[in-house]
Amino acid sequence: MSKPRRHDGQLRFGLMWPNTQSHNVTSRVVADANPDILDVANHLELARTVEETGLDYVFFADSYTVNSPASAAAGHGEPRIFAPIWAAAVIGATKHIGVVTTLHTRYLSPVLIARIGANLDVLSGGRWGWNIVPGSKAAESALFGFDNLEHDRRYEYGAETLTAVKALWRAGREPIEFTGEHVRLSGALCGPTPVQRPNPVIFNPGVSPAGLDLIASECDFGFSAVVDDWSKVRSAVDRVTAKAAEFGRAPSSVGLVGSIGVVIGQSMADAEERLEWFRSVVDIEAARGFANFFLANSKTYRGLFEGQDYEQLVRRIGVGAGSTVLCGTAEEVAEQFVELNKATGMSNFLLLPMTFDSAEIAGYGRMLPHLQRAGVWTPPSQRGWSW
């Protein structure tokens, strides 16, 4: 079933799809407790659980290299499943949820991106989304044999690739001539063409000035981390809205998605104790690898965590990549989402599960009735499964 875009102000929740043995906690202990990441049965079960729970979409991050040997030892990024391949399995197991996959503009030709995307969009009946990432890791560039571009050049390259991919999608099976600074295409790409017209939904993570320009001019969603200082979240939401207006777009047509952790317990004390436990089993060297990747490559991350003590930040990034983690009973967490929405204007959240067994994910469903009573959430089956 195709997924229209609606801007109704209601909260929507996505799930950061587990793509490695321990995705959101850099910890061997958590990695060993999780279901086997390479067993497709676990992905199919999780996919059905997500849909039954009432989450709106899932999101596959991706990377081609490991951040550090310690990360690999902790099961963080080694092995890491390739987003578009495993997304196809999730699509096959579901009917309504959106499935967003990361595809790097620096490493894949626009023709390949257009073809992978069109096929996933058709396979899903119009539920696929593309998370554009420019490709910012030096080790990845070296692996592909490319020069590592400077930050804003990567975005230029990404923007041009996006224009070319959109041109291929719009052309259908008609030939195009595209001559950019980095990209040259000539001819027609065979079908299928995407179900979503004129193009599938597009995300871009990173709200640095260059990232913001790309989001506001060409994307449907920006994506950043929710941090404890909510004024930074409010500011990012406002910057996206203002920039969209500068590009002549309706402010509601571009949203900012916030990644956020949630730990639900029988009581606040129980949830806090669980969160403390996750923090206590973090492998610090693996977290350092993750922190160094983000701090070296992302102006967004540098801005979010400016002025914080590096060692404390490493510990924070070991759990939920430094995002805020909401804690409490299902009702208390729902109340915190209501407050967060009021204070920041953010209405779309990407949940970062600490573990990924289906019971943990189904547990998110317990907060949804509270949000519904508060008038900020409607089951997607009632409002229509929309982006």
Strand pairing category for 57-60 and 98-104: parallel
Taking the complex as a whole, the smallest distance from the CB of residue 120 to ligand FMN amounts, in Å, to: 16
CB of 236 or CB of 368, closer to ligand FMN: 236
Output 189 or 313, the one with its CB closest to ligand FMN: 313
Whole-angstrom distance, CA of residue 62 vs CA of residue 259 = 15
Residue of closest CB approach to ligand FMN: 206
Nearer Cβ to ligand FMN (130/385): 130
The C-alpha atoms of residue 223 and residue 259 are separated, in whole angstroms, by 8
Q: By C-beta, is 265 or 318 nearer to ligand FMN?
A: 318
Nearer to ligand FMN, 208 or 372 (CB): 208
Q: What is the DSSP string of 193-236?
A: PPSSSS--EEEEE--SHHHHHHHHHH-SEEEEE--S-HHHHHHH
In the complex, the residues that contact ligand FMN under the rule CB under 6 A are 61-63, 102, 133-136, 151, 205-206, 208, 211, 223-225, 259, 297-300
Judge whether 176 and 193 are in contact, CB under 8 Å.
Answer: no
Residue closer to ligand FMN by CB (options 83, 195) is: 83
Smallest distance from ligand FMN to CB 301, Å: 6
* Shortest distance in whole angstroms from residue 67 CB to ligand FMN: 11
CB of 158 to ligand FMN, least distance (A): 9
Q: Least distance in Å: CB of 154 to ligand FMN?
A: 7
Helices of type H across the chain: 28-33, 40-53, 69-73, 83-93, 110-123, 138-144, 151-171, 209-218, 230-246, 268-280, 284-297, 299-304, 310-317, 330-344, 358-364, 368-373, 380-383
Q: How far is the CB of 78 from ligand FMN (least distance, A)?
A: 15
